Amino acid sequence: MITLTVNGTRRTFEGDPTMPLLWYLRDELALTGTKYGCGVAQCGSCTVHVGGKPARACRVLMSELEGAAVTTIEGLHARGEHPLQVAWREIDVPQCGFCQPGQIMQAAGLLQRTPKPTDQEIDAAMNGHICRCGTYPRIRAAIKSAAEKSS
């Protein structure tokens, strides 16, 4: 049995220990904001925080999560008003929106470490994410806007 917390709630898991966190979140907890895009940590759509740091939920196995604290997009901010979520809406970043929870979780990790990132730091942190609609320029702008407003 594996015990972990997800968005502050204690959970136990007794299923297949090779199951990636992604499918546990989606299939068992119905936290569907974490998206499946590739399964091999190439696209970033499934990004959550494990122990406060961005992680690709498709490549973290349940067996690795004993005692871990997991935060998903649903738990990033109680009212959905994290500065990044607000900036995303102000700049109208999403097109289809599918990759955006993962993008926001990655950006939240970046701002925690680097509150005032340069363009190069943003590019380096976000380059593991794919947005097929091509919202990259607006994502970059939204991260900078959130960083400026947090000062």
Partner 1 sequence: MSANEFLPWVRRAAAPQALPDVPAPLDAGCTTADSPSGLQRRTFIQLLGLGGLVMAFGPGGVRRLEAAEPTPGAAADPWSPHVYVRIDDDGAVTIVCHRSEMGQGIRTTMPMIIADEMEADWARCRVEQAVGDPKFGSQNTDGSTSIRDFLHKYREAGATTRALLEAAAASQWNVDVAEVFARQHEVVHRPTGRTKSFGELVTTARTVAMPAPSSVRIKRPDERRWQGRKMPSIDLVPMTTGTAVYGADVTLPGMKVAAIARPPVWGAKAVSVDEAEARKVPGVERIVRIPETPIPGAFLPLGGVAVIAKNTWAALRGRDALKITWDAGPNGTHDSQAYKATLQASVRAPGKPGRTNGDAGAALAASSRKVSAEYHVPYLSHAQMEPMAAIARVQDGKVEAWAPTQSPNDARNTLAEYLKVDAANVTVHVTLLGGGFGRKSKPDFICEAAFLAREVGAPVRVQWSREDDLRHSYYHAVAAHRLEAALDASGKVTAWLHRSAYPSISATFAPNLPGPSPDELTNGASDIPWDIPNMSVEVCPAVAHARIGWYRSVNAIHHGFAIGSFVDELAREAGKDPAAFLLDLIGPDRKVDLSKAGLVGAGDTYYGAPWAEHPLETARVRRVVESVKQRSGWGTPLPRGRGRGIAVHRSFLSYVAMVVEVEVSPDGTVLVPRATVAVDAGFVANPDRAKAQMEGALIMGMSNTLYSEITFAEGTVQQSNYNDYRVARMRASPHVVDVHVVESEGLPGGIGEPGVPPAGAAIANAIFAATGVRVRELPVGRQLDGWEARASDKGRAVAG
Where does this chain bind partner 1 (CB under 8 A)?
Answer: 15-16, 18-20, 23, 26-28, 30-40, 42-43, 45, 72-74, 80, 85, 88-89, 92, 94-101, 104, 119, 122-124, 126-140
Structure tokens at 59: 């490549």
Closest separation in Å from C-beta 109 to partner 1:
15
Residue 111 or 122: which CB sits closer to partner 1? 122
Residue 35 CB, shortest distance to partner 1, in Å, is 7
Burial of 106 (0-12, 13-18, 19+ CB in 10 A): buried
Answer for the pair 59, 13: CB distance below 8 angstroms, yes or no.
Answer: no
Cβ closest to partner 1, residue 66 vs residue 92: 92
Give the SS3 label for residue 123.
Answer: helix
Residue 10 CB, shortest distance to partner 1, in Å, is 21
DSSP state of 27: I
Which two tokens mark 103? 């993008």
